[in-house]
Structure 1
Amino acid sequence: MTAQQLPASTSATAIQSPRQPIALLVSLLMTAALASYLYTVQDSHASLVMLLGAALGVALYHASFGFTTAWRTLVVTGRGRALRAQMLMLAVAVCLFFPTLAAGELFGQNVIGFVRPLSISVLVGAFIFGIGMQIGNGCASGNLYHAGGGQLRALPGMAGFAAGALWATRDYEWWTTQPSLAPVNLIELLGTGPAIALNLLVFAAIALLTRVVEKRRHGDLEADDAGQGQPWSRRLLRGPWPFIWGAVALALLNFATLALIGRPWAVALGYPLWGAKAAEALNLGLDIDFWGYWLLPGRDTALMGSILEDSASLMNIGVILGALVAATLAGRFSLSWRMPLMQWLAALLGGVMLGYGATIAFGCNIGAYFGGIASGSLHGWLWLVAAFAGSFVGTWLRPLFGMSRG
């Protein structure tokens, strides 16, 4: 799988920086300035949260680690290298998360996982999200690191995500009344060891299935040789990374998030707040304060405070800055914005679907899929099945918006 790029057919204009070292210096200064500001007006914890997001942005960019293209590539071409990397990421994560969540604390920090109900809202929301990620050509984390790398074409997807997420907060209370089964926590149900073993077996089975499919269609397996031939230190700093590096890095950084914040990494959690703040700034006259979503613990205080006081938002901003640093380190930073009108509309529509789906499904590909499975919650697997089905549908809808299926 290549980077989670916007279509090759897109007519793009790129402004290449003639002085990449200057661009690198600017990106580092921007990151350091925000970290310093957060340390001054809040505390060191806020600064560390943002910097952790930046580390995630570097990993996402250097490994071109996405979910949208990975799933589409498997459906269209049968190549499963990227999905196998996701299984490795999950395998490392459950080995780290399950014992820690069973203990309930890490380095004195109370920790909780994302354990959610098996509900209609998860099924419907994940399915909508899956369609949106293919139409919009990006997922929650993908849009962030693409924007950081200079692909301004990701911005309509992000704007749509915030609008869709805000819309979903209005309907959130209704979705909670729909049919639902109680949450299933595999760590509590089976015990830590058996739960890890079961998950590893499922990951291995999925990885093996992708190998079988790929060999039948192509006769061989696609090599994961990004950056091969370069010294490992240069590859680490400037990229590109093999998928395996990205998989391990994301699992470790998600575990660091658990240690720092007390919960797994969540991207979609920041978007409803961004939508609400935008609605307030535009004076749209919405009674957001009285919507059920904003009466949930933690969401009420987030709505009253600044975006820079919200940990999910801080990490999202950090991802953008980290991708900017990574792009300038790699010497590949450029500003790209031009594409056909239909693809702008597709990005906006896909973003709305992403935001709405993620909010009613208790998260996106990061919070529900990655975080849910790493938390031992069965809803993470339900989300994966529904989102993959939606992604399949979305893949075949792409030509309606002038995009190839591949």
Structure 2
Amino acid sequence: MLQMIVLGIICGLLLGFVLQRGRFCVVGAYRDLLIAKDGRMFLATFIVIAIQSVGVYVLRDTGIIQFGNDGFPWLGTILGGFIFGIGMVLAGGCATGTWYRAGEGMIGSWVALFGYMLGAAMTKYGVWKATGDHLVSYRTSDTYIHETLNVSPWLLVIVLIIIVGILVIREFKKPKLPMFKMKPKKTGLAHILFEKRWHPFVTALLVGLIAIVAWPLSAMTGRMFGLGITTPSANILTFLITGDDALIDWGTFLVLGIFLGAFIAAKGSGEFRWRLPDMKTLRNNAFGGMIMGFGASIAGGCTIGNGLVNSALFAWQGWVAIVFFLLGTWVAAYFTIIRKQKSSSASKAA
């Protein structure tokens, strides 16, 4: 148990610190791609996938870890991914973003986090379990893309690295926009850790490395998977209600570590403060969090478990989920942001 606690907390602390300082949130990446036409953070998510894909297949080929082969739950992934995408926008953050923003003192994220934990627990263990089990029962026999194509996974790894590498080089060749820089108050390592603005690609590199390390750390405690947010979040709430300590594993301490790591980063950078949004936003946070928990549960993972981890394994579930995360995010962004902007512009023009 001590090993589980220490390894989970350490990995979570690192991840939470990096996520908070790098402002790495997947819903922001998806939303910015549509609204601001800014694809840097979206590309950063694929940097994480590419880096992790190299690491996990090296670990697999050396026998340190192994992957499951449970088929592709296509219906649950499609519906759950779309619902999760809508929930992300309403909740104001993805699953991991909600955890780290709660560590910054955002009350709306606390509300969204509780809704997320509740929705996931209800789907995995409660009144929505029958529905969730039915949806995920529709599955194909092939789990992985390379399995279907009958090629080595390393071929897909190489192709992904080349594509991501080309896009990163193109991004760096773009002219840099002038940025206002405040005079630094800290120096040395303190400046880098708590004050300097982190480039999205640097953050992605660090997240990718942490995602690789998560696999053997988790495997050492008997849990054969990498980063995961949904099941540990559901397990925390269910454990608090039932007292069933069988629900506590490495992933539980990972998510608690994310919260603590984000808190440390926010306090060190002076970004921690309690912030209470208006009642309408709180309502959206609660509802968004709950359907986000439901969606992630039937999709087999959130934007971390599916969008970064299963995609790095080249599982069909991960890549199809990304598509429907995007669609759900864009639909919700249209009705909550874009349509209001168009209506406001039309009113001013009139």
Partner in structure 2 of residue 58 of structure 1: 17
Tell me the TM-score normalised to structure 1 length: 0.73
> Which of residues 352, 361, 369 is equivalent to 2:307?
369
Distance 1:377 1:205, change over 3 A: farther
> Which of residues 229, 252, 269 is equivalent to 1:330?
269
CA–CA distance in structure 2, aligned partners of residues 175 and 383 of structure 1: 14
Give the CA deviation at 1:112. 3.0
Per-residue CA distance 1:387-406 (angstroms, 9 max, x = gap):
1011100101225999999x
1:238 partnered with 2:194: yes
CA–CA distance in structure 2, aligned partners of residues 227 and 348 of structure 1: 36
Give the CA deviation at 1:350. 0.6
Give the CA deviation at 1:380. 1.1
Unaligned runs of 5+ residues in structure 2 are 220-224, 344-350
Give the CA deviation at 1:352. 0.9
Whether contact under 8 Å (1:115, 1:377) holds in the other structure is no
CA–CA distance in structure 1, aligned partners of residues 249 and 101 of structure 2: 22
CA–CA distance in structure 2, aligned partners of residues 269 and 226 of structure 1: 41
CA–CA distance in structure 2, aligned partners of residues 158 and 260 of structure 1: 25
Distance 1:60 1:401, change over 3 A: farther
1:88 partnered with 2:47: yes
**How big is the alpha-carbon RMSD for the aligned residues of Structure 1 and Structure 2?**
3.3
Partner in structure 2 of residue 258 of structure 1: 215
Whether contact under 8 Å (1:131, 1:350) holds in the other structure is yes
> Which of residues 156, 161, 169 is equivalent to 1:200?
161
Superposition map of 1:298-313 within 5 A: 304-305=244-245, 309-313=248-252
Distance 1:132 1:112, change over 3 A: same
Whether contact under 8 Å (1:127, 1:357) holds in the other structure is yes
Distance 1:103 1:386, change over 3 A: same
CA–CA distance in structure 1, aligned partners of residues 280 and 341 of structure 2: 9
Give the CA deviation at 1:271. 2.2
Whether contact under 8 Å (1:373, 1:381) holds in the other structure is yes
CA–CA distance in structure 1, aligned partners of residues 53 and 183 of structure 2: 29
Per-residue CA distance 1:142-180 (angstroms, 9 max, x = gap):
011101111122011111111211232213321233354
Q: How many residues align?
A: 330
Runs of 4+ in 1 over 4 A off after TM superposition: 113-116, 204-209, 220-232, 399-405
Query: Which one-letter code corresponds to 2:39 in the other structure?
Result: G
Unaligned runs of 5+ residues in structure 1 are 1-41, 282-302
Greater shift after overlay, 384-393 or 163-172?
163-172
Superposition map of 1:219-368 within 5 A: 233-239=189-195, 240-262=197-219, 263-277=225-239, 280=241, 304-305=244-245, 309-336=248-275, 338-368=276-306
Superposition map of 1:20-99 within 5 A: 42-99=1-58
Whether contact under 8 Å (1:115, 1:372) holds in the other structure is no
Superposition map of 1:140-219 within 5 A: 140-169=95-124, 170=129, 171-178=131-138, 180=140, 182-186=142-146, 189-203=150-164
Superposition map of 1:108-123 within 5 A: 110-112=65-67, 117-123=72-78
Per-residue CA distance 1:97-116 (angstroms, 9 max, x = gap):
222223331xxxx4436875
CA–CA distance in structure 2, aligned partners of residues 103 and 168 of structure 1: 36
Tell me the TM-score normalised to structure 2 length: 0.83
CA–CA distance in structure 2, aligned partners of residues 82 and 159 of structure 1: 26
Partner in structure 2 of residue 39 of structure 1: none
Whether contact under 8 Å (1:226, 1:242) holds in the other structure is no
Classify the secondary structure of the residue corresponding to 1:365. coil
Give the CA deviation at 1:187. 7.4
Give the CA deviation at 1:243. 1.2
Distance 1:202 1:123, change over 3 A: farther
Distance 1:228 1:79, change over 3 A: farther
CA–CA distance in structure 2, aligned partners of residues 270 and 354 of structure 1: 14
CA–CA distance in structure 1, aligned partners of residues 38 and 31 of structure 2: 9
CA–CA distance in structure 1, aligned partners of residues 56 and 182 of structure 2: 30
Give the CA deviation at 1:332. 2.1
Query: Which one-letter code corresponds to 1:55 in the other structure?
Result: L
Whether contact under 8 Å (2:4, 2:249) holds in the other structure is no
Distance 1:183 1:121, change over 3 A: same
Whether contact under 8 Å (2:72, 2:140) holds in the other structure is yes
Identity score, percent = 20
